[in-house]
Structure 1
Amino acid sequence: MTIDFKNLSAAEWREKLSPERFHILREKGTERAFTGQYDKNYAAGEYTCAGCGEKLFTNDEKYNSGCGWPAFVAPAEGAAVDEHRDTSFGMVRTEVTCGNCGGHLGHVFPDGPRDRGGMRYCINSASLDFTPEGGGAAGASE
């Protein structure tokens, strides 16, 4: 049975996600800088949406931006993420959401490494799961 993640109710999402993940993915929340488990993770592998499991980013695109959240120069190929204009909090930014379930991931800014395209996808660790290359236990490495 295929799950239509974009049409799950808030109650269904609450059953599926921890309170922190629900707040970030479904209510557009943000974790505090430098607190996320994947900020300093540079192990080989891929990052998937914590809500639906869709592949979003790979470690090949990750870099240390110093911003306090995992930063990537680009998403995975295909329709991994969607981008939307965000005018909340009196700012104009570009929100990044999961292309499969619509979950809030973070924001993208045009201040990334110029030699890698110039973009910085600033993503909440709590919106991600990490699968190390070759399988095995997921987790952050310092």
Structure 2
Amino acid sequence: MTDRDRVPDPPAGFVPSGNRGAFSSHNGPYFHRAEMGELTEQAFYALPRHANGIGLVHGGMLTAFLDGLMGSAAYRTTRQTGVTIHLSVDFLHMGRVGEWIMGEAKVTRSTKDVAFVEARAHVQGVDLVRASGIFKLMRRRD
């Protein structure tokens, strides 16, 4: 690991996230707020590998981050795994390498089959991305 790939200590109250699956583990590392509140909160430190050709955090990275964050919020609220069936993303500002990208999500409504979730990613309170998603809630088969 080079110094360019070193992740500093996470913001206060955040701990490393595990059990994210191969895709998210490869994109991370991700962190989440240890204490549960009304919002599901996660974060990642923008490394050079998260950037596009002009040094800004890639829109695909931000989208994948928010998709996973909203899926976590759906699970936390419903206790059922949700898979994305609709995702809408609005890009508002630029994130840069060397910044902590903070995310928060909440379920706005759920039924027995789907959860509706809203999220945002920000740096020091400035919104980078806002997203909404609909997640199909999966039931375990016996």
Calculate the TM-score normalised by the size of structure 2. Answer: 0.28
Calculate the TM-score normalised by the size of structure 1. Answer: 0.28
Which of 1 and 2 has higher RCO (CA within 8 Å, sep 6+)?
1
